[in-house]
Amino acid sequence: MRATRCLKTPVTRSAVGVMLALAVAVLAISPAVAAASTAGEAFGAPGARSWWAPATNDFVGTASSPSSRVYFTGSNGIVGAVLWPTPDTPNTTDLQFMVGDAARTWVDEEKVDTTHSVTLADARALIWRVTNTDRDGRYRLEKEIFTDPGRDTLIQRVTFTALSGTVGDYLLYTLYNPTISNSGDNDTGRALSAGGGSYLEASDGNGRTSVLGASLAFAPGMRSSGFAGSSDLWTDLRDKRMDWTYDSATGGNVTQGALLDWGSAAAEKSVTFTLVLAFGNSASAARGAADGTLGSDPGALRATYVRQWNDWANGLDALGGAADQEYYTAAMCACRRARQPVGGHVRRRLQRRLSPRVAARPLREGERTAPGR
């Protein structure tokens, strides 16, 4: 809640009484004002109704190794549904960034306020390179998206580039809307500090948990769990400032956000870091996966992921040289872990799931919505 300028004229006892009465009345009719503290449980439970991620995707992926059970999709330049432990169990609505200026005069939503380019980072692996460029030319976000081949973790290798000024001129926030076990209306989120790391943890009643963390630290005290449409970060940033830093949000459509800390890199033109989203049947299992991935060399994880897919794809029937990129992409999407040759039917099977919309376009009507859509 913002501080207001103090009156410089004398205030009588009766005037104080009137002001107190008015304050009580305002708090009684305005829950958002009443709950706008910066600690404890978030207000506004259970939040807006939870919605599934879009069914039409620009990219889909998973590891070829059975050691990783994470499947991911995405559209409009951001990660959409992340599925675990099976490809029919979504655990997220979306995961994106919010970007603002250090002077706090504007805030962008990544999926809305940037143009998007999506390509395979390797022709024979389901690793995707997504480039989102600010429509006003101030910054660029480049992401390579894949999974840890040995853990239940989604990896985004992110490079933020200041096209004007340095990275310290910008504020970068994560914005995450979980739907654990395909049910987004009864999740619980909380901030977590463990082993020297800072995380955002979301879980449901059966114990399944996601943990969001980054190699670039979250700014001290600047992370929050809230309810979609009332106490979430998207709503909070309408005034261009992150005012709410709630410790927990229990039993509802939870969204989670955090401000990333540039640290000593603030004077640079670009910064590269790893953002991970890990899953487990318990909080400790999810934290262990997150810690394991963040503690590993991201370049080595990427190399293993790509090599395993290359080994598999190179064993496919090349159809006498007629196999094109669409064939290989469709085969990898449709036939993960399969080891038999596949034919042209794979193309038709995947055309309904993967749309090659890699050109920049504005969102369609109805897509410019708040978390919890």
pLDDT for 52 equals 86
Number of structural domains found in the chain: 1
Q: Are 287 and 198 in contact (CB under 8 A)?
A: no
Whole-model pTM: value is 0.82
Please provide residue 119's backbone torsions phi and psi, each rounded to the nearest 5 degrees.
-140, 160
Read off the pLDDT of residues 292-343 as tens digits, 9 standing for 90 and up: 999 999 999 999 999 999 999 999 989 899 999 999 998 998 865 443 334 4
Question: What value, to the nearest 5°, has the Cα angle with vertex 28 and ends 22 and 33?
Answer: 90
CATH number of the domain that residue 180 is part of: 2.70.98.10
Indicate whether 151 belongs to any domain. yes
Please provide residue 313's backbone torsions phi and psi, each rounded to the nearest 5 degrees.
-65, -35
Sign of the four-CA dihedral 289, 292, 294, 296: negative
Higher pLDDT, 247 or 361: 247
Average confidence (pLDDT) over 281-287 = 97
Position of tokens 């958002």?
32
Indicate whether 43 belongs to any domain. no
* pLDDT tier at 93, thresholds 50, 70, 90: very high
Indicate whether 140 belongs to any domain. yes
Indicate whether 1 belongs to any domain. no
Indicate whether 327 belongs to any domain. no
The range of the structural domain enclosing residue 98 comes to 59-303
pLDDT for 287 equals 96
Indicate whether 17 belongs to any domain. no
pLDDT for 54 equals 86
pLDDT for 31 equals 34
Indicate whether 357 belongs to any domain. no
Other C-beta atoms lying within 10 Å of the C-beta of residue 185:
17
- How far is the C-alpha of 343 from the C-alpha of 316, rounded, in Å? 9
Indicate whether 41 belongs to any domain. no
Read off the pLDDT of residues 124-143 as tens digits, 9 standing for 90 and up: 999 999 999 999 999 999 99
Q: Are 266 and 167 in contact (CB under 8 A)?
A: yes
